[in-house]
């Protein structure tokens, strides 16, 4: 469990936040929105961004189910034509398949913020398939995941931290949780109230990261979750399937 944010005068002005997690709305998770927010609150998080793959209905359900002590931020992990991006503080689905530049513009139209998740992961990194260069969007995003708890092997997290430093971007950590066990395993401590776009931007200036990972074995559940979700008819959404999703 995280330290209590209300344990001292100093702590009362701190927030504990994870900006990347998934629920059963994602094609590769079976963690219900209710179970995710209960776990987040029980572990001491004060703010949680729910960022399902190419949809926001799970985030909306999580917000409705959240205990009073937890602020749920509506987000989305968007599969752009150039690589994955994470959007937060949105209320309307941003469809996958747009270019990174178009996606960022669509998020900005809603007043949202944008981060780059696991940019150098050998399997999920930005531009891995498209050949896009993350330096091209460095001036357009609000943070980089300098540590993603689901990155396995290699130096991807180290590269991400260097990228964030070189481009003067906040380098935060994220659980990227796909199971209840992983919720909040990596978290950030920030000053103030990150519950609004302006508040989060201000808070990231005082970022204190706490990078950890769940056991590697927890990732073995991901292919099982994909199979279960496929059998339920909840496979990965394609651009044509996502664009018309009601929000």
Domain locations along the chain: 16-242
CATH of domain 16-242: 3.20.20.140
Least confident of 26-30, 187-191, 215-219: 215-219
Tens digit of each residue's pLDDT (9 = 90 or more) over 24-75: 999 999 999 999 999 999 999 999 999 999 999 999 999 999 999 999 999 9
pTM over 0.75: yes
| Per-residue confidence (pLDDT) for residue 214, from 0 to 100 | 83
| Per-residue confidence (pLDDT) for residue 36, from 0 to 100 | 98
Query: What CA–CA distances, in Å, run from 178 to 163, 186, 243?
Result: 25, 13, 24
| Per-residue confidence (pLDDT) for residue 20, from 0 to 100 | 98
Tens digit of each residue's pLDDT (9 = 90 or more) over 84-140: 999 999 999 999 999 999 999 999 999 999 999 999 998 899 998 899 999 999 999
Between CA 119 and CA 84 the distance in angstroms is 8
pLDDT over 80 at 9, yes or no: no
Only one residue has tokens 């005082």, namely: 206
User: How is residue 124 written in tokens?
Assistant: 């999920």
Between CA 156 and CA 154 the distance in angstroms is 6
| Distance from chain centroid for Cα 35 | 17
Buried/exposed 83-106: b ≥16 CB within 10 Å, e otherwise: bbbbbbbbeebbbbbbebeebbeb
């Amino acid at each position: 469990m995280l330290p209590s944010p209300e344990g001292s005068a100093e702590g009362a002005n701190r927030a504990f936040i994870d900006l990347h997690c998934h629920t059963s709305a994602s094609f590769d998770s079976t963690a219900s929105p209710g179970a995710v927010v209960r776990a987040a609150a029980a572990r001491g998080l004060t703010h949680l961004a729910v960022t399902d793959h190419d949809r926001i209905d799970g985030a909306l359900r999580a917000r409705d189910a959240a205990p009073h002590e937890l602020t749920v931020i509506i987000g989305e992990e968007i599969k752009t034509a150039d690589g994955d991006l994470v959007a937060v503080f949105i209320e309307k689905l941003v469809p996958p398949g747009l270019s990174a530049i178009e996606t960022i513009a669509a998020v900005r139209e809603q007043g949202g913020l944008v981060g780059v998740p696991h940019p150098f992961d050998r399997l999920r990194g930005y531009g891995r398939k498209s050949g896009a260069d993350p330096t091209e969007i460095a001036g357009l995003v609000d943070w980089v995941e300098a540590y993603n708890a689901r990155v396995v092997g290699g130096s991807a997290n180290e590269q991400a931290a260097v990228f964030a430093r070189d481009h003067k971007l906040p380098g935060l950590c994220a659980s990227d949780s796909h199971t209840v066990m992983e919720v909040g395993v990596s978290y950030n401590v920030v000053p103030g109230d990150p519950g609004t776009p302006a508040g989060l931007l201000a808070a990231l200036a005082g970022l204190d990261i706490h990078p950890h990972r769940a056991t590697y074995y927890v990732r073995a559940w991901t292919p099982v979750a994909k199979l279960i979700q496929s059998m339920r008819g909840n496979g990965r959404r394609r651009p044509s399937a996502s664009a018309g999703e009601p929000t």
